[in-house]
Amino acid sequence: MAGLEDLYREIILDHYRNPRNRGELEVPPAVQAVGFNPLCGDEVVVYVEVSDGVITDVSTGGQGCSISQSSASMMSTAVKGRKVSEVRRLVRAFKHMMSIHGTGIGGAGDDLDDDGSGGNGAADVKLGDLEALRGVVKFPVRIKCATLSWNTLVQAIDETFA
Amino acid sequence: MSVGGGDRLGPQTKAHFPLLGRQVRGRPIVYLDSAASSQKPRSVLDAMNSYYETINANVHRGAYEIAAQATEAMEAARTAVARFVNAPSADEIVFTKNVTEAINLVARSWGGANLGPGDAVVVTEMEHHANIVPWHIMAAEKGFELRWIGVGPDGQLDLSDLDRLLDGAKLLGVTAMSNVLGTLNPVRRLADAAHDAGALVLVDAAQYVPHLPTDVQALGADFLGFTGHKMCGPTGIGVLWARAELLEAMPPFLGGGEMILDVRKDGFLPNHIPHKFEAGTPPIAEIVGLGAAVRYLDGLGMDRVREHEVGLTAYALRTLQDRYGPELAVHGPSEPACRGGVLSMSFRDIHPHDLSQVLDDRGVCVRAGHHCAKPLMRHLGVPATTRASLYVYNDTADVDALADALGAAGEFFAP
């Protein structure tokens, strides 16, 4: 039986209490996207600024639980300054880790790999601190909290290139 | 009421509910989510099993004994439900899937036939989405206006503008008891005002019928919906009560078997009420289960149920206030006699998902989220709340366990 310490790792609580890259960016040049978790009413706003194929700045706003807020904070530090192509691979790797299938717990009905690519090609991506969110998978209702900001990031990036 | 007032029913009824005997993570389960769905007493489970084991057959038109017995069991449940809410006739009890379907039935059938451009439907800001979205859908289709009664201080409806809102309205939709605030709304007063303005009244009684003695006639309602699974019955069975003359005049909702008297190649003749609105094979076992639930609640006595819940709500409000003071806000009316046992809480700045997660770790089952009332959440200025809700089987020990678990959450998320 998964305990609270599997979910609320210290690094997660740290990002929750001291969120990084929090706030707004000027639109334009930044692009803004809003994501909702219809289950709990959480919403996250992601701003990204892309220049020459690199995410030069990222910022997050909105409100939510410790998991959604810390995941947004960790996401922002993980993608800032990186190439969009690398970030897309990182998103795939993260969502693979966040899928019940991806962590080998078993069970069908994984709807998280909505780009259909599963974890293919993502195995070599280093997740670093993001590994701390792995325990969320043991609490399936919280998975959407952890992936909300990542899906919203993809939305913002897609809009940048739209 | 004395401190022990809340224990009047809880300890003795707990034993009637098999699930409440289980443990969660080595602790006895503390079930405080009955506003979402209640637990089921043994008598309801037995009635449903007995139906399947002894008289399972499709209802109506069967010429053999068990088909007749199944029909009889279903219609006996309809009669029991009618009596439970003091409906003038069992023919006014339409079985639906839940309240949501009951309201959609009214919106689609009555609304489709009676609403158009220039008309208005009035609802309140504290409605469940089930009494909002069907009207949004029909308003987009029919071009009528949707108007809102706001929420004022202490979780009460703001009725200062009622006459203007009702002017030209054809229907007022109101929850008898808020599933978030616990507010008991002045349904009779609203119904009288609506009728004076020429509007009908639809009451969402999902949170009311399970907890208070209900008299559809005294409430002055024209339509009233409730659901089985919140009142000790099974899921998948709800009720629409409506005045017979309204049901008679309304066009059918779903078409199919059982809802017809005759079908020809050029049309059909609808069945008499209530069968006109019950297309297809009904959820017979669930109807039998609802009948047993009504008998169970009758056995406890709805006056005693209400008295128990007022006492326990008072105990809970006092306990939480004593333990956490201004750090913990319980939304809604502060006076227990003006509310039901629904306690929507905001505790410090701990997000409801995090709060309920720590509570779950201690076997305490509460609900976190917007409770299908997003307009109300926006009014309260919160994204979500943590909701504990009380019922016949809860006692002061459950409330104490909640208070202790909140303390543990407070420590866990201490800044």
8 A C-beta contact, residue B123 and residue B203:
no
**CATH code of B56's domain:** 3.40.640.10
- When pLDDT is cut at 50, 70 and 90, the band that residue B269 belongs to is very high
8 A C-beta contact, residue B174 and residue B187:
yes
Residue B358 touches chain A, beta carbons under 8 Å: yes
Q: What is the DSSP letter of B281?
A: S
Same domain? For B69 and B25 the reply is no
Q: What value, to the nearest 5°, has the Cα angle with vertex B179 and ends B178 and B180?
A: 90
Residue A162 touches chain B, beta carbons under 8 Å: no
Q: Which residue has the higher pLDDT, B5 or B143?
A: B143
Percentage with pLDDT > 70 across chain B: 98
d(CA A60, CA A69): 9
Residue B357 touches chain A, beta carbons under 8 Å: yes
The answer to whether residue B5 scores a pLDDT higher than 60 is no
**CATH code of B344's domain:** 3.90.1150.10
Tally C-beta pairs within 8 A across A and B. Answer: 47
Average pLDDT over residues B72-87: 98
Amino acid identity of residue A105, one-letter, is I
Residue A7 touches chain B, beta carbons under 8 Å: yes
- When pLDDT is cut at 50, 70 and 90, the band that residue B136 belongs to is very high
8 A C-beta contact, residue B175 and residue B342:
no
DSSP B113-148: HH--TT-EEEEETT--GGGTHHHHHHHHHH--EEEE
pTM: 0.91
Q: What is the pLDDT of residues B22-40, one digit of tens each?
A: 999 889 999 999 999 999 9
ipTM of the complex: 0.79
DSSP B349-362: T--HHHHHHHHHHT
8 A C-beta contact, residue B9 and residue B305:
yes
**Is residue B39 situated within a structural domain?**
no
Give A24's strand partners: none
Same domain? For B284 and B371 the reply is no
Last residue of a domain, which of B299, B324, B344?
A: B299
Residue B377 touches chain A, beta carbons under 8 Å: yes
Q: What is the DSSP letter of B252?
A: P
Same domain? For B156 and B12 the reply is no
Nearest to B204 by CA among B104, B305, B103: B103
CB atoms within 10 A of CB A6: 14
Same domain? For B145 and B75 the reply is yes
d(CA A29, CA B36): 46
Q: What is the pLDDT of residues B333-377, one digit of tens each?
A: 999 999 999 999 999 999 999 999 999 999 999 999 889 999 999
Helix (H) or strand (E) holding A10: helix A10-17
Q: What is the pLDDT of residue B7?
A: 53
Average pLDDT over residues B243-254: 97
Q: What is the pLDDT of residue A126?
A: 82
d(CA B347, CA B330): 9
Chain B residue numbers with beta carbons less than 8 Å from the beta carbon of A4 are 357-358, 361, 412
Chain B residue numbers with beta carbons less than 8 Å from the beta carbon of A142 are 353, 357
Structure tokens, B388:
């504990």
Same domain? For B361 and B319 the reply is yes
Q: What is the pLDDT of residue B337?
A: 94
Q: What is the pLDDT of residue A109?
A: 38
Nearest to B151 by CA among B169, B167, B176, B127: B127
**CATH code of A38's domain:** 3.90.1010.10
Determine the residue among A4, A143, A148 to mutate to test chain B binding: the one whose Cβ has the most chain B Cβ atoms within 10 Å.
Answer: A4
Structure tokens, A116:
């259909």
**Is residue B40 situated within a structural domain?**
no
Residue B412 touches chain A, beta carbons under 8 Å: yes
8 A C-beta contact, residue B373 and residue B128:
yes
Average pLDDT over residues B301-318: 97
Average pLDDT over residues B87-96: 98
Same domain? For B259 and B407 the reply is no
Q: What is the pLDDT of residues B229-241, one digit of tens each?
A: 999 999 999 999 9
- When pLDDT is cut at 50, 70 and 90, the band that residue B70 belongs to is very high
B175 by DSSP, 3-state: which? strand
Last residue of a domain, which of B238, B268, B299?
A: B299
d(CA B145, CA B115): 10
Same domain? For B270 and B345 the reply is no
d(CA A13, CA B173): 44
Q: Nearest residue of B to residue A142 by CA position?
A: B353
CA distance B370 to chain A (A): 6
- For residues B195-223, one letter each, b for 16 or more C-beta atoms within 10 angstroms of the residue's C-beta and e for the rest, the string is eebebbbbbbbbbbbbbbbbebeebbbbb
Q: Which of B351, B361, B374 sits opposite A64 (nearest CB)?
A: B351
Structure tokens, B405:
């678990």
8 A C-beta contact, residue B258 and residue B60:
yes
Q: What is the pLDDT of residue A156?
A: 93
Same domain? For B77 and B175 the reply is yes
Same domain? For B139 and B286 the reply is yes
Q: Which residues of chain A have pLDDT under 70?
A: 1, 101-123
Structure tokens, A46:
């992601």
Same domain? For B306 and B294 the reply is no
Length of chain B: 415
Q: What is the pLDDT of residue A123?
A: 58
Q: What is the pLDDT of residue B197?
A: 98
Chain B residue numbers with beta carbons less than 8 Å from the beta carbon of A61 are none
Residue B353 touches chain A, beta carbons under 8 Å: yes
Same domain? For B372 and B293 the reply is no
Rounded to the nearest integer, the mean pLDDT of chain B is: 95
Same domain? For B25 and B106 the reply is no
Domain count, chain A: 1
DSSP B182-248: -BB--HHHHHHHHHHTT-EEEEE-TTTTTTS---HHHHT-SEEEEEGGGTTS-TT-EEEEE-HHHHH
d(CA A3, CA A7): 7
CA distance A12 to chain B (A): 12
Last residue of a domain, which of B281, B299, B317?
A: B299
The residue segments making up the domain with residue A151 are: 4-160
Q: A137-141, B129-133, B284-288, B296-300: lowest mean pLDDT where?
A: A137-141
The residue segments making up the domain with residue B238 are: 45-299
Chain B residue numbers with beta carbons less than 8 Å from the beta carbon of A41 are 369-370, 374, 377, 383-384
Chain B residue numbers with beta carbons less than 8 Å from the beta carbon of A67 are 353-354
Structure tokens, B266:
């050029």
Domain count, chain B: 2
Q: What is the pLDDT of residue B62?
A: 79
Residues with Cβ within 8 Å of A81's Cβ and at least 6 positions away in sequence, in order, are A54, A55, A56
Length of chain A: 162
Its sign, for the CA torsion B20, B23, B25, B28, is: positive
